[in-house]
Structure formats: structure tokens, C-alpha cells
Structure 1
Amino acid sequence: MSGAYSRHWRAMLAVNAAVMLGVFLHKLALPPYIPYIHLLVDYHFGFIKRALIGAVVGLFTAKVPVWLVFALAGGVWLITFGLFVQLFRRTFGLGQPQLPLFIFTAGSPFVFKNFLFTLGHFDIYGCLGAIVLLLVPARSLAYVLLAALISAALVLIHHIHLLMYVPTVAAIVVLRYYLIRPIMRLDIAVGAIALLGLGALFFAAQFLGTMPLPEADFVSYLKTRMVDPSRTELLQFAYVWYQPLSKEVQDTWARLPSNLLGVPVYALLLWLHRPLWRVFKQHIHSLNSPRHRQIVIAALIVIGLAYLVMFAMVFDYSRWISSWMVCMVLMLHAVKTLPATKSVAPIDGDDRKTTILGWIITVLPRVGIIRPF
């Protein structure tokens, strides 16, 4: 990469850091409606959905302050970002030739910037779990069991993780464990049991995890866990622990016409990442085994289908498309671990069009939660 263009990519790192700080400060000024109530809900009334994080918080404090939303979520964001940098360094390196790819992944408005805007939501936990599985050794069945444990925790945090990140976790396990060794019957049995167990856990959370008492009593209990019980506006989303799947689907389809207006925006944002897609495609084509290529493509299709189902069920479209993008970035790292016939050249940082796209990606602050921006 020439000196003139390398200065551009180094400047993008600094601008990305400034944009992330701005998004974080903006998020601090917004009321944490959904994130805060998730810190209050626990297993006091038995097994219910979306209660794991609140139950863990309850082990350390009986009263939950509002600032804990930002402290906890900010800490998880820092850990996730730090582990991603370590993963990127191990997979691709962090020299000047790799800077463009780092900008198009870590600096994407779909990825860590959007995690800052959705600070306190549960999406980033799936990303964190997948990064851990990409970093730790995959030498024994303990790896499969670890993936099952992480996936179970994700489903208990929010059952929609079964569609949002568990397929990517499963794909990482297949690529890093099952494809690099002869498959034994025990491997198949453990994997099948893990999948069946996760499916059962999902159905239990979805259909048996409804709050078993009147909403007024539930809200009264939540107030006992608040440092400031007078802030009742932070409890306005308590109804989600009573809402059946049919109501969620109904609300999603009612919002569908307006949400579909954002599809061209998402398509444009994804098009801006075309240097990343080009490199991803080259890595798939460079795989040594045709069977590996077929399995990778099948895994990407399964992940995409899971997101299509999720789009039909819950209307937070900006979050879902952002998490899908995160899954693609994670899958790129997983594909890079497979044997290849040839090395893939990094994104050309000296290309003027690529540099312009990099700057656009850099200055975009985030994608959003429900609608674009």
C-alpha cells in the first residue's frame, strides 16, 4: 500500500474511534427502556424467558441502578471488541495491508458501531460467544460441549438467539471441529443431542416461559429491585413477558409495509461493503476441498434462512440485518481456518474507489434498531 493511501486508512481508524465515542455519548442520553428491565427480571417466579442476565445481576446486587445498564453493556462491548481485534490479528494480521479489511469489518456501521447504539440489548452476547469459539482450540468433544453451553446461555438470555446467532455458532463448530477430523459416532451423537436440547430449551422459553402472575404483580416485584421505583416509565415494556408469539407476528406484519421501505437502504449499505464480499467469495473459492466449499455455502444459506424466519416474526429489522452482517464477518474468520489451495490477496488499499467506500463506511455512525438510522 502506497504512503498516500496508507495515511487514508490510518486516518479512518482515528475517525472510527471518534464516531464510536460519539455514538456512545449519544446512547448515554437515551432512556434504556428495554435494557434496564432485562436487568430486573429474574427467576424469582420460576422459569421464564429473557431472565438470565437479570438473574446473574441479582447474584451481586439486590437493587439495580440505571447506570448499571451502561456499565455492564459497555464492559461487554469492550471485551467483545478486544477479543475481535485479537481474532483479526490471529486470522489475518494487523499490518498495513490488512487495514482495509479491518475497516470494512470492525469499522462497519453494522457491527461495533451498531452494538454501541443498541447498548444493553442482547445481540452482542451472540457475537461474543461466537468469537470465543473462534479463538479457543477445537481439539476434542469439549469444544462441542462448550458451544452447546454458550448456545444454551444465549437462548436463556433471549430465545430469539436460536435464530440470530446459534446457527452461526453451529456453523463454526462444523467448520472448526467436524470438518478437520474423521467423524466418529460419538461426535455425531453429542452434536445431535446438543441440537435437540437447544430446540427443547427454545420451545420451553417461547411457550412455557410466560410470567405466571398478573402483570400488575409482576411490575410491583420489579419495583422492589429498582434503586428508584418512581421511574415507572422504565417498566413500560413489562408486557413482553406476557405477549404470545402470535401477537409478535401480528405486530411484525402490521409494520411490514413501513419496514420494507428500509430495504433499499440496507441494500445500499451492503453494496458499500463490496470489497469485503469480494474477499469473502475469494476465500470460499480458494478452499482446498470442494466438499468444504459446499458445506460453507450450505451454512451461509441456513444462516440466511434463519434470519428470514426472524424477519417474519419480530420487527426490529435494523438490528437483525446488522446481526446478519456480524454473522457474515464471523463466518469469514471461520472459513479462513480451513485448508486452502492458494492465498487470497488482501483488499487493495491503493484502489481509489475502495478508499472512497472505506471513508463512507467510516463516517456512517450506525444502522439503527427498527428502521435505518
Structure 2
Amino acid sequence: MSWARFHQNPWRLMIAVNIAVVIGVFFYKITREPYVPYIHLLVDYHFGFIKRALIGATVSLFLTKVPVWLVFALGGGVWLVTFGLFVALFRRTFGRGDAQMPLFVFMAGSPFFFKNLMHTLGHFDIYGCALAIVLLLIPARPVAFVVIAAAASGILILIHHIHFLMYVPTIALIVVLRHYLVQGIGRHNAVAGIAAVMGLSVLFLAAQFRGSMPIPEQEFVGYLRDRMADPSQARSLSFSYIWYQPLAQELRDTWQRLPSNLLGIPVFAVLIALHAPLWKYFVDLVRQLSDQTHRRIVVAGIVLISLGYLMIFAVVFDYSRWISNWAVCMFLILHAVKTLPAQRAAPPIAMHDRRTSVLGWIVTLIPRVGIVRPF
């Protein structure tokens, strides 16, 4: 692609720079110790039902000894699949013309989204994002859609029960917007929805309060050490306390860190503000919806999802991850809103507006948000 085309349409260059940034983040990531992601691959259901064990249990079906490189291979593979799914979703929802490039940059190129998912490679966040995108892509007409969404949510809770607040509410809103607002609430739909809510709630409570490791920690650590292909990674075993820590201790740890973590709030606010053209477009989409009830449901759903994230912030201190996943949830909801009947099309993000271009470049050049504190 010639430089003249880049000069004529700088959004193309932003996309190219974003690709380079992601590659840089990947090479940076593989030089770091994958402590928690690695131990997640070691834990399975050998000692019975426990929390955070589905990924490790799946790995155990194929490997008795787990190499550390699998963290990056598996995480990288899931990242590529998720990115491919998102590109397919974006093209189906908005098309592939030049006019949609600013929107693509502010979404896919956001430091909240794929760049941060690359930085958190091996963590469980991306599974929620991937399954939500799948539910935005598949047909939503039959009641089977509700069943599939419930099954996907159950898988996420078994991967990590925090998904109950992190991505399951977004999946629920996608089901409401794509299925219930179109099909209405019939008897079968209502029964499926109520059963899904009740079943997922029980599963979450079981994982949260009955999912602790039932054996002494020393025995558990010994089992994990036997599953390691590389004994030099034994430092990861210091995180075995995760499967023994009660909710009360998680709350104490989070609130002890709260004063320092709150210092990052202004940074998060600035990062959110940098996406102003995207938020304006989102507001325009909601305002243009034909049905006032649809608008109210969308707003109520966004409020409830945000309240769920506030609850996460009170319990677990990985603030950079949570604010990033909140933004991703907003991006995905935007796609669902776009499919609803509208009075007229919302104007796309301006390609040639100077302020929008500057914000696009800033968003492009920020490599990630982080895990706990900003950057």
C-alpha cells in the first residue's frame, strides 16, 4: 500500500501501527514470567469440584506434564481466534468501507481491547469476550439461542466465577436485545430464561463458596509440582493460596490496596475520554432507536453491567483489567444496539475531523492499560 494512500487516509496507517504495537506487546509478554496463567493450566478437578479449574482440566485431558510455553501458545491462539471473530462481527454489523475505519480504530485499536488482551495473555478475560462475540454472530431466533447463551455463561463461570459479574451480564443483555426484543416473551422463552438465571446463580454460588481446595495446601502444591514440565517454574506455586482464600480475605486485600489503586482513577477517566468520538456515536445509536422501550432497556442494561463492575472493583484489585473489560463490554453492546430498528442511521465517526484524528492517533499509540495499575 503506497504512502500516498496512507496520507490520504491516515486511519489506514493507524491500523498498521496498531498491528505493530500488538506484535511489540506480544514479544514483551513472552519475556515475562506467567505466574498466575501458568498455575491455572495446572489446576484440574483431580480433587473434586473446585473453582478456576476448567481450563486446566481441559489441558489435563491431553497433557500429563504442562510446559510453560503452553501459556503463550494457548493464549495467543485464543487471541487470534477472538480477533478474527471480532473482524467478522464488525464487517457484518458496519461493513468494510473507509467510512468505518475510524470506528474500527477506536474499537479494535483501543488500549482497552486487543492490545490489553495481549498484555493479559493467558488470563481468563478473553474467553468471556470471545463467547460474547460468538453470540453476536450466530442466529438468535430459536429458543436454542437462550440455551446456548446459558451454556456459554456456565463455561465462563467454571473458567473463573468472576465472569458472573464480568461478562455474563453482557451476554444476558445481548440475549435480551437480539432475542427477546425480537421474538417477544413467550412461555418457552420465559421458562428458558428463568431456568438459565437460576442455574447460573447456583453454579456461581457453588464456585464461590464451595469451590475451595478440600485438601491441605502442601498436598495441593505437591500435585501441581508433579504436573509441571519445567521444575524451574516452581515460583508460580506461591499463588496456590488462590484456591484457599475466602471471600472475606479477598475483600480485605482489595480494601487495603484501595488508597493506592484509587490514584489510577483519573488515568482511567482520561483513557475513557480519549474515546469520545466512539461514545458520541454510541449515544447517537441509542437515541435513534425507533422504540422508546428499546432505548430504556439498553440504558438499564448498561447501568446494571456497570454496577456489576463496581462490585468487582470492591472485591478484586486488578483495576486495569476490570476497566478494560468494562470498555470491551460497551463495544460489544454497541454492536447489538446497531441491529435494533432505528428511525434513521446515526452519522459515522468523522474521518477528516482534526480533533478526531488526533484522538485516534493517541489511542493507537497507547500500547495497553495494564493489569492492576495503569500501564
TM-score normalised by length of structure 2: 0.98
Look up the match of 1:77: 79
CA-to-aligned-CA distance 1:125-171 (integer Å, 9 cap, x gap):
00001000000000111100000000000000000000000000000
The structure-2 alpha-carbon separation of the partners of 1:53 and 1:4, relative to structure 1 and needing over 3 Å to count, comes to: closer
1:166 to 165, 168, 189: 168
CA RMSD of aligned residues (A): 1.1
How far did 1:4 drift?
A: 7.5
Look up the match of 2:360: 358
What CA distance in whole angstroms lies between the structure 2 residues aligned with 1:310 and 1:90? Answer: 32
2:29 to 24, 27, 30: 27
1:89-168 correspondence runs (5 A): 89-168=91-170
The structure-2 alpha-carbon separation of the partners of 1:141 and 1:189, relative to structure 1 and needing over 3 Å to count, comes to: same
**Mind listing any 5+ residue stretches in structure 1 that lack a counterpart?**
none
Contact 2:115 2:368 in 1 (8 A): yes
What CA distance in whole angstroms lies between the structure 1 residues aligned with 2:115 and 2:167? Answer: 18
Contact 1:63 1:227 in 2 (8 A): yes
How far did 1:234 drift?
A: 1.7
What CA distance in whole angstroms lies between the structure 2 residues aligned with 1:194 and 1:87? Answer: 25
CA-to-aligned-CA distance 1:5-32 (integer Å, 9 cap, x gap):
6431111011000000000000000000
What CA distance in whole angstroms lies between the structure 1 residues aligned with 2:185 and 2:34? Answer: 47
What CA distance in whole angstroms lies between the structure 2 residues aligned with 1:181 and 1:109? Answer: 36
How far did 1:223 drift?
A: 1.0
CA-to-aligned-CA distance 1:240-277 (integer Å, 9 cap, x gap):
00000000010000000000000000000000000000
What CA distance in whole angstroms lies between the structure 1 residues aligned with 2:5 and 2:219? Answer: 65
- Tell me the secondary structure at the aligned position of residue 236 of structure 1: helix
Look up the match of 1:329: 331
Q: Which AA in structure 2 matches 1:157? A: I
1:273 to 269, 272, 275: 275
2:217 to 208, 215, 218: 215
Q: Which AA in structure 2 matches 1:248? A: E
CA-to-aligned-CA distance 1:280-338 (integer Å, 9 cap, x gap):
00000010100000000000001000001110000000000000000000000010111
What CA distance in whole angstroms lies between the structure 2 residues aligned with 1:141 and 1:36? Answer: 38
What CA distance in whole angstroms lies between the structure 2 residues aligned with 1:4 and 1:311? Answer: 41
Moved more, 315-324 or 177-186: 177-186
Q: Which AA in structure 1 matches 2:29? A: K
CA-to-aligned-CA distance 1:159-193 (integer Å, 9 cap, x gap):
00000000000000000000002321221111011
The structure-2 alpha-carbon separation of the partners of 1:142 and 1:6, relative to structure 1 and needing over 3 Å to count, comes to: farther
What CA distance in whole angstroms lies between the structure 2 residues aligned with 1:46 and 1:199? Answer: 20
What CA distance in whole angstroms lies between the structure 1 residues aligned with 2:364 and 2:339? Answer: 28
How far did 1:236 drift?
A: 1.3
- Tell me the secondary structure at the aligned position of residue 223 of structure 1: helix
What CA distance in whole angstroms lies between the structure 1 residues aligned with 2:327 and 2:6? Answer: 30
- Tell me the secondary structure at the aligned position of residue 255 of structure 1: helix
CA-to-aligned-CA distance 1:41-98 (integer Å, 9 cap, x gap):
0000000000000000011111100000000000000000000000000000121000
Look up the match of 1:178: 180
Look up the match of 2:303: 301
Write out the 4+ residue segments of structure 1 that deviate beyond 2 Å after TM superposition.
2-7
Moved more, 176-185 or 346-355: 176-185
Look up the match of 1:289: 291
Contact 2:106 2:363 in 1 (8 A): yes
Contact 2:141 2:183 in 1 (8 A): no
The structure-2 alpha-carbon separation of the partners of 1:24 and 1:230, relative to structure 1 and needing over 3 Å to count, comes to: closer
Contact 1:49 1:209 in 2 (8 A): yes
- Tell me the secondary structure at the aligned position of residue 42 of structure 1: coil
What CA distance in whole angstroms lies between the structure 2 residues aligned with 1:59 and 1:233? Answer: 24
- Tell me the secondary structure at the aligned position of residue 351 of structure 2: coil
Look up the match of 1:238: 240
TM-score normalised by length of structure 1: 0.98
Contact 1:144 1:173 in 2 (8 A): yes
What CA distance in whole angstroms lies between the structure 1 residues aligned with 2:83 and 2:5? Answer: 28
Contact 1:5 1:350 in 2 (8 A): no
How far did 1:229 drift?
A: 2.5
The structure-2 alpha-carbon separation of the partners of 1:188 and 1:265, relative to structure 1 and needing over 3 Å to count, comes to: same
- Tell me the secondary structure at the aligned position of residue 229 of structure 2: coil
- Tell me the secondary structure at the aligned position of residue 231 of structure 2: coil
Q: Which AA in structure 1 matches 2:118? A: L
Look up the match of 1:317: 319
Contact 2:161 2:207 in 1 (8 A): yes
What CA distance in whole angstroms lies between the structure 2 residues aligned with 1:65 and 1:213? Answer: 25
How many residues are aligned here? 372
How far did 1:3 drift?
A: 6.7
**Mind listing any 5+ residue stretches in structure 2 that lack a counterpart?**
none
Contact 2:6 2:12 in 1 (8 A): no
Q: Which AA in structure 2 matches 1:327? A: C
Contact 2:133 2:332 in 1 (8 A): yes
The structure-2 alpha-carbon separation of the partners of 1:338 and 1:6, relative to structure 1 and needing over 3 Å to count, comes to: farther
